[in-house]
Structure 1
Amino acid sequence: MEVVMAAEPPQQKAVGLARRLVRLLRRKRSTAGSAAYSVAGDEFDESMDSSINSVTKLKLSGNVAALDVLFRNAAEKKGAPAPPALDDAAAAHAFVASLFAGVSAVKAAYAQLQLAQHPYDAEAIQAADAALVAELSKLSEQKRRYARDPVGAANDAAAGPAVLAAHADEQRHLLRTYEITKRKLETELQARDAEAERARAALADELRAARALEERVHPGRTLAALDDLHLSGLNATHFLTALRHTVKSVRSFAKSMVDKMRRAGWDPAAAAASVHPGVPLRHPGDEKFAFESFVALKMFTNFHRRDLGFCSMQERNSYDRRRFFEEFAELKTAPAAAFLDARNSRWGALGEFLRDRYLSLVHERMEVAFFGRPDQRSTLTAGAAFPETAWFAEFAEMARRVWLLHCLFFAFDDGASIFQARAGTRFSEMYMDTVSDVDVDDGGTSLAPAGDRVVGFTVVPGFKVGWTVMQCRVYLSQPARQP
């Protein structure tokens, strides 16, 4: 007959399990040097003893969660500090901080996506797009958690150092956004600079083409042809270039003078009649030729003399052709601020020329009518400075070109001469050129051919350089009397 052993009661099994756990804890505490035993040595800690009593009350169906509650209660009985409770304000602040960190991450990813599009980079676009989707997914997950459990989502965001980390992430993402924006702006700036450089190059090409065309149609019309000029290669074509440049400036200043007369209420036709009395003007608007003549003849006074008729410029009589050419080359590139500085002794002779020609060209009554007061004349008479007005600046540029032409005039080795046609002289196609091609008067009556008419007045003087004759420009008057 078999002896059937009675099964061990469940309560005894639980007690045995508890005793084994206590022994394991005792070894661990003994190894760590903790006081798991009392002073007597063999007695357990009272808290552990109570835990054992609690374990004996467990049923066989007890689970791990119950054991976890058991040992948590034991720790609380020993006085272990409980985690601090979070207030609602701190939790809300932490949640908002994490939310802003996520939004800043989205902004940074989107900025990276924009940067990858200009210039187009397929791989960078894919990477930026993936990063943007990931950040949006994180925000979406945060939204779902908050929808399920607002308090829990806030407490999770506030757990541990999460608040500081969220602030740090937000600043880091913002800094990244600024860096990406900076790179994008630098790229756009480089593109704009490149575009501006291309535009400047295109404009320079157009200017060169325009100058080349101007040179072919009207040789020597611009001073660009004189940029690389050398004394050994100087010829009459270079002088013609400078002459046309000077005549253009004279014509511009005369036009300004007529415009100011009209604004001041003067009659330009009556003023022109006083310039060349006895010479009737054939067409309306021809008074401009009278004023061009007035300005040119004033500016070219004593042009054939090295000292231009100034006693203070006697030393210029000893200049050789090289000295005149060097002065031409230096003044041609000098800025207006240099020769309009009264303290600059280098251009003292030019300054004296400016003062003398302005005072003889612009009468005091004229300046008062134009500007209300003769301040510019007073400034020039004092001699301490030059007027800082647009009117005088235009005059000074015209005078500078006349001075340049004078320097070039005496730079020719074989000599040069200047001439004009007297009033009443028969027109000569070899030495003269008429300023008007109209051959009918105001009433529609045909005028005599140019060869049968006479000179009313010279508008611009002519020049002879070597064997080359540069015609003077004249205004023709009535036909010559028959013998």
Structure 2
Amino acid sequence: METTAPRASKSSFNAIFRISDLCKVISVGAPPVSLKPKPNNPKDPAFSEEEAILLKLLDSISSLKLAYVQLQQAHIPYDPKKIKNSDKLITSQLESLSKLENLYNEKLTDKPKSETSVSLKIKEHEKLLVVLQSIVHDKESENERLRLEIHKLERENSELNENIEKNPSCKRRLNLVNRELTPNLFAEAVSFASRSLHDFTKPLISLMRVSGWDLDSAVRCMYTETVFHERSHKKFAFDSYLSRVMLSGAHEKFISMDHFDRVMGILDPFEVLITDPNSEFSMFCREKYLDAIPKEMEDSFFGNLDHRAFLMSGGHPRTPFYEVFVKMARWVWALKVMSLTFIPKAEIFYVREMDQFNNDFMESVVDELTPKRGQTSKVGFTVMPGFKIGENVIRCRVYLSKS
């Protein structure tokens, strides 16, 4: 899959190349000599103050270039501490360059600037400073936006944890390790997977909103005939999108019961990705992230495609967003493993938009919308698919359209 560099990269590399041009020292009337450095004697008449300042200027520009490269590297992976240190180093180098310019103006005021090569270099450098300062400002703005978004996600997670603590029923944990696979256990796993998909949809919608996405238009594109009872119910459309993407396709290549106990028995599933980045579960996470988060969406979220690039290179980015995705993906992967283990295999089914509601195979995601006996209702869309294991049916979860 095609990847692109971060938005600021093109202007950033242009700036670096322009710095490199300044660092190419042109010989002034001297014959070629050995490449071995020869110390200059400041008392030598040939060694003027102008040349001394020029050497310091070139040295400072080289240091500035190195500091900027370090700033770029600190973004992949994203490291706030390294970014802060690199930013300080760049500021320090810019201050040094400003002092050199002032020194030049003080020491060489008796010479017309147009007569010296240093004056021309300084003019070029002043233009370059404007470019670099603009790039640094853009990076700082992007970092601030990401910090605010991370704080928002952390606050939402904190609120979610508080709600879990207040609700005893949410404290229940499902242990799938060394358990006999029965339709009842599978039904519980479906419930946990549905909840995890919904939990991931929350930060996904938040990122779409702050990134300027038109959520109403996105919902209309997915479901053209559904009429929502309340505006807040449109969140179920994104649950539906996510469940379809995550559960679609044949993933036998990602299935291993031996690997199952290890993935489901560990507290943090990301540890599996670190210790075995090419395991069945790792490959599932990698492929499904690329399917669920299109590159246009990722670019609008983070201003770059670093997540995709890292995944496609064989790694797993340890970012808050991807960690939440992996926690959700674990339950979907567990469903895929369990569904292929039954004999006969568990069959997945969906309900089409505007089909008639049937209580034997469906349940409403909004209890208040469940039709009474004798009433009829149309299905807007399937939020979470259902499964059939032999004669056992695990009902799908649907959103019912307003008449």
The interval holding the TM-score normalised by the smaller chain is 0.5 to 0.7
1:330 and 1:266 mapped to 2: Cα distance?
A: 38
In structure 1, what is the equivalent of residue 347 of structure 2? 417
Match of 1:357 among 274, 284, 288: 288
TM-score by length of 2: 0.53
1:306 and 1:355 mapped to 2: Cα distance?
A: 13
1:377 is aligned to 2:308: yes
Q: Which has the higher contact order (CA 8 A, sep 6+)?
A: 2
Q: CA deviation at 1:294?
A: 0.4
1:254 is aligned to 2:201: yes
1:386 and 1:430 mapped to 2: Cα distance?
A: 42
Query: Which SS does the other structure have where 1:453 is aligned?
Result: coil
In structure 2, what is the equivalent of residue 437 of structure 1? 367
Read off the aligned partner of 2:176 and give its amino acid letter: L
Deviations 1:140-166 (A, max 9, x none): xxxxxxxxxxxxxxxxxxxxxxxxxxx
In structure 2, what is the equivalent of residue 226 of structure 1? 176
1:458 and 1:235 mapped to 2: Cα distance?
A: 24
1:300 is aligned to 2:231: no
In structure 1, what is the equivalent of residue 332 of structure 2? 402
Q: Quick check: 2:307–2:317 contact (8 Å CA) kept in 1? A: yes
Stretches of 4+ aligned residues off by more than 6 angstroms? 447-450
Q: CA deviation at 1:225?
A: 4.6
Query: Which SS does the other structure have where 2:279 is aligned?
Result: helix
Query: Which SS does the other structure have where 2:401 is aligned?
Result: strand
Query: Which SS does the other structure have where 2:218 is aligned?
Result: helix
Deviations 1:291-329 (A, max 9, x none): 000000000002xx452xxxxx29x6xxxxxxx544322
1:458 is aligned to 2:370: no
In structure 2, what is the equivalent of residue 344 of structure 1? 276
Q: Quick check: 2:260–2:337 contact (8 Å CA) kept in 1? A: yes
Deviations 1:127-183 (A, max 9, x none): xxxxxxxxxxxxxxxxxxxxxxxxxxxxxxxxxxxxxxxxxxxxxxxxxxxxxxxxx
Q: CA deviation at 1:270?
A: 2.1
1:275 is aligned to 2:199: no
* Structure index of larger Rg: 1
Q: CA deviation at 1:413?
A: 3.5
Q: Quick check: 2:365–2:397 contact (8 Å CA) kept in 1? A: yes
Q: Quick check: 1:306–1:410 contact (8 Å CA) kept in 2? A: no
Deviation larger for 241-250 or 270-279: 270-279
Q: CA deviation at 1:349?
A: 2.4
Deviation larger for 239-248 or 426-435: 239-248
Q: CA deviation at 1:260?
A: 1.3
Q: Quick check: 2:285–2:326 contact (8 Å CA) kept in 1? A: yes
Q: Quick check: 1:427–1:451 contact (8 Å CA) kept in 2? A: no
RMSD across aligned positions (CA): 3.0
Change (3 A) 1:455 1:337: closer
TM-score by length of 1: 0.45
Match of 1:333 among 239, 256, 265: 265
Q: CA deviation at 1:248?
A: 1.0
Give unpaired runs (5+ residues) of structure 2. 1-164
Give unpaired runs (5+ residues) of structure 1. 1-208, 308-312, 317-323, 441-446
Q: CA deviation at 1:435?
A: 1.5
Identity %: 29
Change (3 A) 1:225 1:356: closer
The size of the alignment, in residue pairs, is 238
2:166 and 2:174 mapped to 1: Cα distance?
A: 11
2:206 and 2:214 mapped to 1: Cα distance?
A: 11
